[in-house]
Chains A and B, each alone.
Chain A
Amino acid sequence: MAELTALAGLFGLSSAFALVGAVLAGWMAWRIVEKAGLPGWAGLGAILLTLTGIGSVVPLVLLWVFAFMRWPRDEETPAGAPRALAAPLKALADRRGWRLEGGGVALSFDESAPSYRLTGGPAEQPTDLVVPDASVGRPHARLLTAANRLGLEDLGSPGGTYIDGARLLPEHGPRDISAVRSIRLGSVELALSRT
Chain B
Amino acid sequence: MGPDIGAWLLSWAVGLGTAVLLVIVLVHLLVSLLLIIPSWRILTRAGYSGALSLFHLVPLIGSFIVMAILAFGDWPAGEARHGDGGRR
Q: Which A residues are within 8 Å of any B CB, using their own CB?
A: 21, 24-25, 27-29, 31-32, 34-38, 60, 63-64, 66-68, 71-73, 76, 78-79
B interface SS class: helix
Q: Which B residues are within 8 Å of any A CB, using their own CB?
A: 34-35, 37-39, 41-42, 45-46, 63-64, 67-68, 70-72, 75, 78-82
Q: How far is the CB of A26 from chain B (nearest CB, A)?
A: 10
With both beta carbons as reference points, the residue of chain B lying nearest to A27 in the complex is identified as B71
A32 touches B71 (CB 8 A): yes
A residues within 8 A CB of B42?
32, 66-67
A residues within 8 A CB of B81?
76, 79
B41 touches A79 (CB 8 A): no
A interface SS class: helix
A residues within 8 A CB of B68?
28
* Bound complex: CA A73 to CA B73 (Å): 16
Per a CB cutoff under 8 Å, which of A24, A29, A64, A73 touches B38? Answer: A64
Q: How far is the CB of B85 from chain A (nearest CB, A)?
A: 10
Known: A63-B35, A78-B78. 8 other contacts (CB 8 A): A28-B67, A38-B80, A63-B38, A64-B37, A67-B41, A67-B42, A67-B45, A79-B78
* Bound complex: CA A68 to CA B39 (Å): 10
Per a CB cutoff under 8 Å, which of A21, A34, A64, A73 touches B78? Answer: A73
**Can you list 13 contacts pairing A with B, beta carbon distance less than 8 Å?**
A25-B67, A28-B71, A29-B67, A32-B42, A35-B75, A36-B80, A37-B80, A63-B35, A63-B39, A64-B38, A67-B39, A72-B80, A76-B81
Q: How far is the CB of B86 from chain A (nearest CB, A)?
A: 13
Per a CB cutoff under 8 Å, which of A29, A31, A71, A79 touches B72? Answer: A31
